A and B are shown apart, each in its own frame.
Chain A
Amino acid sequence: MPDELRTIQVTVNGTKYDRQVRCRKLLSDFIREDLRLVGTHVGCEHGICGACTVLFNGQTIRSCLMFAVQADGAEITTVEGLARGGQLHPLQEAFWENHGVQCGYCTPGFLLTALELLQRNPNPTEEEVRIGIAGNICRCTGYQHIIESVLAAAAKMGAKTV
C-alpha cells in the first residue's frame, strides 16, 4: 500500500515509544519530528555528512539512510541519551574543555561516532582518531580541536575505569 501507516515500537535513550509511521519516513525525521528529539541533526540527507549519526542497537548508523519502520523493536541512543542526571558524558565534557564545538551543528554526530570509536578502541592514536571520525564533516573547526577532544575523552574515560 502506498503511504502505508505502520505501528512501530522503539526504545530511544531508555524510553519506549509506540508510534504510527509512514513507511517512507526516514529514521532521522522520525526522531526529530515524531519524538521531538531534535539533538539529532540533519545535514545532507544522503549519507555523506554524518550529522544524523545515532547508535542503533549499539552501533553507529546514519539515521537518514534508514526508514523509521525498519527500527521497529530497536534500541536507539541519540545525543540526548549521553548525559546522565544533568551530568555531561566525559566525551561531552572533553568537547567542552577542548573547544571541540564551534557552531555545534555536527557535534551530535561526532559525539556518537567518537563514542563507538572509544568503545572499540579505548586508547586510540591520533591517526586512529582521524580515520575514525573521517565519516563526519565539520565546516568550522578544521577538526584539530575535535581530535584533541576525542583524545582527551579517551584519557578521561580510561582513567575512570581504572
Chain B
Amino acid sequence: MKPCNFDYFDPKTLEEVVVLMRQYGSDGKILAGGQSLVPLLNFRLAAPAALVDINKVKELDYVREVNGKLAIGALVRQRVLETSEAIRSKCGLLAETAEFIAHPQIRNRGTVVGSICHADPAAELPAIARALDAEMKVVGPDGERIIKAEDFFVTLMTTSMDPSELMVEVRLPTLGPRTGWAFEEFAIRHGDFAIVGVTAAVTLDEQKNCADARLAAIGVSEVPYRDSKVERLIMGQEISESLLDQAAHQMVEGVEPSTDLHASADQRKHLLRVLTKRALKKAAGRALKGFEKGRGKNA
C-alpha cells in the first residue's frame, strides 16, 4: 500500500498555492493534515497528478475573532480545539467536540478546515459547521468567495468547491452566555467513526424561552442533516421534557438512513432519537445555567 507517483509542491505563500491549483485543477490535491487524504493515496483510491502541500503556508495558521465571528485558518490542527483559550471561551462546542474527533495522533496532525472540506458524512466538524451556519472562505483562480454551510455540503465527500479552489478559513459564530451547546455521539470505540452523532445549540430569551435552536446530525444521511421543522417546533417555547420528546421524534421523520455493517437503519433512527433528546437537554441545561449566571451579575 504505497501512493502512486505525484508531483510534490510545498509552497510558502497562498499566492503560489493558487497558481499551482489553477495549473493542475482537478488533477491537483491540497495536502494539509493528510489524515483523510493519505489513506486514500495509500489505497490508491486517489491518485492525483500533483500534491500541493500547504503545511509551510504559515499565513493560514491562525485563530482570530473577526466581527464577532471566530475565524479558523486552514492550517489549524484539530488539537488546537482542545488547547486554544479563544476557542474554548468563544465557541465551547468546538472545544468539547474535539475529543470525539478520532484519536490524539490524528488530531495532532489533522486540520479543522481539512475535515470540513473532506465532508465525510460521519465527521463531527461538518455537523458543527452546518448547525452553526458557518461560512467557508474559499480561494481560487477567480479570487475569493464565501460559501454558506447550507450550500457547501453537496453529498458524501463532495462540496460545492471547484477542484481548483481551496478553503482557507472557516468562520463560526461566537456563542454567548445564553447559548448552551452539546455534542452527543455513539461510536463502537471511542474516537472511531460515529454511527450517529447529534449536535445542538440552544439560545434562551429574556423569558427563558427558546429564542434559537439548532440541530445537526451525522451518520443518518449523505451530508450533515438539519431539519428546520424540528428547530421551529422548539423556538419560542419553554423547554420541557415533552417538547424535547416531540423534537426527537420529529427529527427521525425526515431521515432514511442506510443499513450497513455497523448498524441497521432502525438502529440509526433509534440512536438519532435518543441522541437528539440528550443533546437538546444538555444544550438547554447549559443555556439555563448561563442565563442564571448572567442574571446574577445584573442583579
> Is the CB of A132 closer than 8 A to any CB of chain B?
yes
> Whose C-beta in chain A lies nearest to the C-beta of B105?
A60
Pair A46/B105 contact, Cβ less than 8 Å: no
Pair B8/A69 contact, Cβ less than 8 Å: yes
> Is the CB of A130 closer than 8 A to any CB of chain B?
yes
Q: A46-B1, A46-B42, A131-B99 in contact; A117/B105 too (CB < 8 A)?
A: no
Interface of B is mostly: loop
Query: Number of B residues whose C-beta is below 8 Å from A?
Result: 31
Q: A134-B190, A135-B104 in contact; A65/B7 too (CB < 8 A)?
A: no
Pair B7/A134 contact, Cβ less than 8 Å: no
CB-contact partner of B55 in A45, A50, A70, under 8 A: A70
Contacting B at CB under 8 A, from A2-44, are: 2-4, 6, 23-24, 26, 29
Distance in angstroms from A47 CB to nearest chain B CB is 5
Contacting A at CB under 8 A, from B99-126, are: 99, 102-106, 108-109
Bound complex: CA of A59 vs CA of B3, how far in Å? 24
Interface of A is mostly: mixed
Bound complex: CA of A36 vs CA of B109, how far in Å? 25
Choose the segment among B31-39, B58-66, B159-167, B212-220 that binds chain A (4+ C-beta atoms closer than 8 Å): B31-39
Contact surface of A with B, Cβ cutoff 8 Å: 1-4, 6, 23-24, 26, 29, 45-47, 50, 53, 56, 59-62, 64-67, 69-70, 113, 116-117, 130-132, 134-136
| Sample of 5 more A-B contacts, CB < 8 Å, known A1-B7, A23-B6, A70-B55 | A46-B43, A64-B38, A67-B38, A69-B8, A134-B192
Contact surface of B with A, Cβ cutoff 8 Å: 1-8, 10, 34-35, 38-39, 42-43, 51, 53, 55, 79, 99, 102-106, 108-109, 189-192
Give me the 3 closest cross-chain CB pairs, A-B, nearest first. A135-B103, A23-B8, A46-B39
